[in-house]
Amino acid sequence: MPCTPSRALATNSATSDVGTADPVAYCRDLVRKRDYESYLIGSFYPRQFQGAFFALRAFYVELASVQDTVSNSIIGKMRMQFWRDAIKSIADGRPPRHPIALALHEASQKANLPAYHLRRIIDARVTQDAELHTPTHLTVESLTAHAESTASTFFYLLLSLLNLSSSETFSHAASHLGVAHSIQVLLRALPYHASKGRMVIPAEITARHGVRQEDVFRMGGSAEGISDAVFEFATLANDNLLTARAMFKQAGGGDGGKVPRIAMPVFLYGIPTRDYLGRLEGLNFDAFHPSLQLRDWKLPYRIWRGYYKGDF
């Protein structure tokens, strides 16, 4: 008598088991698949801190992707509550059996990673409607505050990882770099968000240039005023990037404004930011141009060169 195949609903238990067996490898692979620029940057951290870097970045990527991986904001808030509870449990030495949580716990054993920075990123993702409902910010001030609570705070964690958080120069530069990097990410994702009926450029800017959101959703880069709005938004990113770089020149030290080698891994994020803004300018600020969605094959070399030159 032929055997009847057993039936069962698929689960992610196998993936979970693999992840908990080697949490750092799970985090590294997640970053490689979903944040390739960070994957490249991770190799420039001291070997003893690379696992912690990938744990922190996987945590950041996981939170940032909640909006697109849940069906409604209630589930999103539940996911965020899980991470709030996880951070507390990690601090208590009882991390949940989740690969990223386990990797964060391991990282916290090697470096002082302030839990309030981790909580601040979570809270920024939850408390602002920009995350769990629609990513639209009304003002530049609102967006800048959100970038400070997310990307800049992530860079503060990286400074803590390298035991550099006491430097005022590093912290101020990281703050501005976080804003620049956040805007670059939003601009690069503008076509995707527009396809979902979401506008990522602050309403303050789009209104100034007569942009109608519905036109952008239908016509993309052909919508009236959108290239002017993109230009203003990109200029804000560039101004913050230049300010971050200027911090090292103002600090002096006779090194020509170069970033000290020990801190350079944190500021490598300025290289893909500058690279994207330069490509965008070359396309007359058409953020919808298909070439901007392709990886720049020169980026790995530029990151390598920036690391050894101490420049971003």
The pLDDT score that the predictor gives to residue 13 is 46
Q: What is residue 1's predicted lDDT score, i.e. its pLDDT?
A: 45
pLDDT at site 66:
85
Q: What is the pTM of this model?
A: 0.90
pLDDT of amino acid 52: 98
Model pLDDT for residues 163-203, shown as the tens digit of each residue? 999 999 999 999 999 999 999 999 999 999 999 999 999 99
Which residue stretches of the chain have pLDDT < 50?
1-15, 129-132
- 195's CB contacts (< 8 A; 6+ apart) are 217
